[in-house]
């Protein structure tokens, strides 16, 4: 972990909820909430202004939803990790958030230490899925994979996917495989295209469903 704290923008339309989340995020000392938003549009303005390490977004907010904010963040190519923190565990919300490019999806009912761990994971470039959400995603993806999908990945791409599933960052994957992190990113870009996904989290989840990697 770097010496500077993980800079977080927190967006939720309930002030009491924001205070509770802020308190337990900042308690360990390595996370700092630099600004709070009560609407999606305000969240975008603050992300643009502060360029935080991680944006923690609720889904349902006045104006833009957290998912719409995520789409803009990705379209603008801002180097911001996005963690959806919400009470909604409905399949359409989950899949749409991941397809929009969210790095993680955690329920508000999760233990505070698990939410803190998810912020850290997203900051480190890892995926962060609540176990209950992972089960839903797996169920949603269940069924026969498209013919030839698994065969389109090279052996090296599968290696990259397996390490990504274990939570390794691009730099750590590169160190494991003896390649540069830029090359790792190139492999991930190819993987996204071949698996028809839009994010690292979605790629890992689909790889698990296809049997390319295993959980745990």
Same domain, 129 and 166: no
Q: What digits encode the pLDDT tens for the residues 94-103?
A: 878 888 889 9
Sheet holding 54-57, edge to edge: 31-37, 6-11, 54-57, 81-86, 104-107, 128-129
Least confident residue range of 85-89, 121-125, 200-204:
200-204
What's the average model confidence in pLDDT over 75-85?
93
Same domain, 71 and 177: no
pLDDT for the residue numbered 144: 44
Residue 215 is assigned to a structural domain of this protein: no
Reply yes or no on whether the pLDDT at 24 is more than 90.
yes
Q: What digits encode the pLDDT tens for the residues 39-65?
A: 999 999 999 999 999 999 999 999 899
Reply yes or no on whether the pLDDT at 208 is more than 80.
no
Same domain, 14 and 106: yes
- Both structure tokens of 79: 């180097």
- Per the model's pLDDT, the better-predicted residue between 200 and 71 turns out to be 71
Compute the distance between CA of residue 148 and CA of residue 187 in angstroms, rounded to an integer: 18
Residue 125: CB atoms within 10 A of its CB come to 18
pLDDT for the residue numbered 193: 82
Same domain, 149 and 129: no
Compute the distance between CA of residue 114 and CA of residue 103 in angstroms, rounded to an integer: 15
pLDDT for the residue numbered 2: 54
Same domain, 205 and 152: yes
Q: What digits encode the pLDDT tens for the residues 132-154?
A: 777 666 665 555 445 445 547 88
Residue 166: CB atoms within 10 A of its CB come to 15
Which pairing describes strands 54-57 and 81-86: parallel, antiparallel, or unpaired? parallel
pTM of the predicted model, to two decimals? 0.67
Same domain, 178 and 83: no
Task: Count structural domains, the chain.
Answer: 2
Question: If you count them, how many residues does the chain have?
Answer: 216
The whole domain housing 22 covers 6-139
Residue 47 is assigned to a structural domain of this protein: yes
Q: Are the CB atoms for 184 and 85 separated by under 8 Å?
A: no
Of 139, 170, 190, the residue at which a domain comes to its end is: 139
Same domain, 101 and 171: no
Average pLDDT of the chain to the nearest whole number: 86
Of 139, 154, 182, the residue at which a domain comes to its end is: 139
Of 139, 162, 187, the residue at which a domain comes to its end is: 139
pLDDT for the residue numbered 90: 75
Helical residues (DSSP H) of 58-154, grouped into ranges: 66-75, 91-100, 112-123, 131-141
**Residue 171: CATH number of its domain:** 1.10.10.10
Residue 49 is assigned to a structural domain of this protein: yes
Same domain, 162 and 204: yes
Pseudo-torsion of CA 13, 14, 19, 22, nearest 10°?
-40
């Amino acid at each position: 972990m770097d010496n500077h704290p993980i800079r977080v923008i927190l967006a939720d339309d309930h002030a009491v909820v924001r205070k509770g989340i802020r308190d337990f995020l900042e308690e360990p000392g390595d996370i700092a909430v630099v600004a709070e938003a009560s609407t999606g549009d305000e969240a975008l303005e603050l992300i643009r202004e502060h360029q935080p390490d991680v944006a923690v977004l609720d889904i349902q907010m006045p104006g833009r939803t957290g998912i719409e904010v995520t789409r803009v963040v990705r379209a603008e190519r801002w180097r911001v990790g996005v963690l959806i923190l919400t009470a909604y565990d409905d399949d359409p919300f989950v899949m749409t958030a991941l397809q929009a490019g969210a790095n993680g999806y955690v329920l508000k009912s999760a233990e505070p230490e698990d939410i803190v761990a998810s912020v850290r994971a997203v900051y480190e470039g890892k995926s962060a899925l609540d176990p209950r959400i992972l089960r839903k995603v797996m169920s949603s993806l269940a069924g026969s994979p498209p013919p030839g999908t698994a065969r389109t990945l090279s052996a090296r791409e599968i290696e990259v996917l397996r390490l990504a599933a274990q939570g390794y960052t691009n730099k750590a994957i590169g160190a494991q495989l003896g390649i540069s992190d830029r090359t790792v990113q190139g492999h991930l870009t190819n993987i996204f295209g071949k698996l028809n996904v839009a994010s690292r989290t979605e790629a890992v989840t689909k790889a698990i469903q296809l049997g390319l990697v295993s959980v745990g």
